Amino acid sequence: MPAPLPSRARPFSLAALWRWWWLPLLPAAGAGLLWRLGAAPLQVWDEARLAVNAAEMLRSGNWLVAHYAGQPDLWNTKPPLLIWLQALSISLLGYSEWAVRLPTALAALALVALVAAFARRWLGGPLAGLLAGLALLSSKGFITHHVARTADYETLLLLFLTAQLLAAFAWLQTRQRRYLLLAGAAVALAVLTKSVAGLFFLPGILLEITRRGRLSALLRQPATWLAAVLALAPPALWYWLREQAAPGYLQAVWQNELGGRMLSGLEDHAAPWYWYLTPFVSQQFLLWTPWVLLSGWLLLRRPVRRPVHRFFTLAATTGGVFLLIISSSTTKLAWYSAPLFPLLALVLGAGLAVWLRQCWLMMLRRVAAGRPLVWGLKPGLAVALLVGAAFIPSFVALHLRLGKEYRRRYDVAAFNYGPYLRWQARQPGAPTSYVVAHASTDPPISSYNAPLEFYALTARQSRHDTVQVLYPEMQGLAPGQLVVVCGAAAHQALRKYYRVQPVQAQDSCATLRVEAVLPQPPAPPAAKPAGW
């Protein structure tokens, strides 16, 4: 018998290759989650509002009550976990879009790692882990505005909701109490991220536990009650402290998050019950739909004793009940369905791994029997082509849309104050005292511009500029003052009251000097009451 080869001289093996199964996820995550993360200006609604909350929290030192424009913020009534993370990021990295979005990007990376590691552990080894991670990173419902690409609540919520589901599955498989404690911690963090939305996976999880006949065992386990305390005590303590700090907060929470969103169409976002079903049969998710159906069919065919089948039933029950909850709510927004995409990625990873193994075994049998391979392809090449057929079209479509989305969101005049103010600060003799004036023909943002408020805070805190923000009624300026405006509406609103002289300009923004106050026509006489 020949002597064994030294360890360094051993031939390459497939098992050694699978030790590095996670490497392809790195460029995919970098391209999907970090590419041009800070390039686009802050978006006008939730993202910029949170950024202002974080900046004001950092400036005031009040870490309990979120503020906007110097007042307690009762429009955004969510708990402050994400705002705390953003404030810490700004304190470490400075005032920038990158710093505001970094907590979301890190949460997205953690979610991809969690999904891939769980799939590897429970759903089919390294192949399932790799495919599940790639499926999530090529999902338009995840790599999109208001989820993984902007500084909004959804990605952090997805991380903790998914952790609840995976911890519940691990407990069903092992009965180890540590998974109950992890689930309880995930519930607490989800509620501290987005209030009641952090509980939306629990009904489906409990329904599946009951269907499997494990509810009595769950209730008899002491760790269950410790997990319940862990889940409920931190949010309850925070809500109590917040109400004590500024009474009226709980009433605002009820009106905004429960009675408002569930029972009425908040801010004209009402839609019919089937509204969330359309992305799964439209172009938004069309490239993945056949693979989801194939994966679900393959997993349903597996014996019940296998973990992949058990996970599929848990994911289907939890996802179905979650979809029913958000569909029954009157207020509907596209990103409310985002928690479904990690579940779909896990189903895809598990199902495609089963399918590829079946294809691989079929081809090896053909080789062993001396029969010709399909189209003369070798087994490894054939499997690689099948994986490419599933993923490459989705990645290409995703990144084409990312480029289009970047251009669309950047080329809006209301959002260009930040890039312009940074450009102005780099010019020789840059002004340090000026007014920033905003106006818009779009009624919802004619007197509201959260990105502008954040960029004004940035100028005050980072460059120590003296900055005043004015909205459409731009009265009260004196000759000699410098005014920054962006967009045609702001230019026209300023020139209605003043004669101005251009100082410098870039794109749709300009710095103007007020030369004189224009006389205004007298107001029309008030109408006489009827009967005069």
H-state helical runs in 62-214: 81-93, 97-122, 125-137, 154-174, 177-194, 202-211
Question: What is the structure's pLDDT at 191?
Answer: 97
Q: Which residues of the chain have pLDDT under 70?
A: 1-17, 258-270, 279-287, 302-305, 360-387, 389-390, 394, 397, 399-415, 523-532
The pair phi, psi for residue 262, each rounded to 5°, is -80, -35
Distance CA 348, CA 136 (A): 9
Nearest to 245 by CA among 57, 90, 58, 453: 57
**Which amino acid does the sequence have at 79?**
P
Q: Distance between CA atoms of 131 and 300, rounded to whole angstroms? A: 19
Sign, Cα dihedral of 214, 219, 225, 229: positive
Partner residues linked to 67 by β-bridges: 72
* Nearest CA among 177, 240, 232 for reference residue 202: 232
Name the burial class of residue 124, with classes exposed (0-12), middle (13-18) and buried (19+) by CB atoms within 10 angstroms of its CB. Answer: buried
Q: Which residue has the tokens 């009762």?
A: 74
List, for residues 174-211, the tens digit of each pLDDT value: 999 999 999 999 999 999 999 999 999 999 999 999 99
In three state form, how does the secondary structure of 360-399 look?
HHHHHHHHHCCCCCHHHCCHHHHHHHHHHHHHHHHHHHHH
Give me the pLDDT at residue 5, please.
43
pTM of the model: 0.87
Taken as a whole, the chain contains a residue count of 532
Q: Record the tokens describing residue 269, joined without a space.
A: 């976002």
Phi and psi torsions of 504, nearest 5°: -160, 160
Query: Which helix (H) or strand (E) is 419 found in, with range?
Result: helix 417-425
Q: How far apart are the C-alpha atoms of 436 and 457, rounded to whole Å? A: 12
* Residue among 266, 196, 191, 275 nearest 233 (CA): 191
- Give the burial string for 224-238 (b: 16+ CB within 10 Å, else e): beebeebbeebbeeb
Rounded alpha-carbon distances, angstroms, from residue 186 to 106, 109, 118, 189, 235? 17, 17, 16, 5, 12
SS (H, E, C) 466-492: EEEEECCCCCCCCCCCEEEEECHHHHH
> What are the angstrom distances between the C-alpha of 499 and each of 486, 512, 518?
17, 10, 7
Give me the pLDDT at residue 408, please: 59
Residue 510's H or E segment, with its range, is: strand 509-517
142, 150 contact by CB (below 8 A) = no
The token pair at 283 is 């172009």
Give the C-alpha separation, 466 to 457, whole Å: 10
The sheet with strand 466-470 has its strands ordered as 466-470, 433-437, 482-486, 509-517, 498-506
For the purposes of burial, counting CB atoms within 10 Å of the CB of 290, is it exposed (0-12), middle (13-18) or buried (19 or more)? Answer: exposed
What DSSP designation does 139 have?
-
C-beta of residue 100 within 8 angstroms of C-beta of residue 146:
no
User: Amino acid identity of 260?
Assistant: G
Question: The tokens of 75 are what?
Answer: 């429009």
Category of 37 on φ-ψ map: left (φ > 0), alpha (ψ -120 to 50) or beta = alpha
Q: How many CB atoms lie within 10 A of CB 446?
A: 16
pLDDT confidence of residue 226: 96
Picking from 177, 174, 173, 180, the residue whose alpha carbon sits closest to that of residue 202 is 180
Mind listing the pLDDT tens digit for each residue in 271-290? Answer: 777 778 776 655 555 567 77
Alpha-carbon separation of residue 156 from 86, 110, 182, 189, 363 (angstroms): 12, 9, 16, 9, 43
* Residue 7: predicted pLDDT: 47
Identify the CA nearest to 458 among candidates 428, 415, 417, 503: 417
How many CB atoms are closer than 10 A to CB 294?
Answer: 16
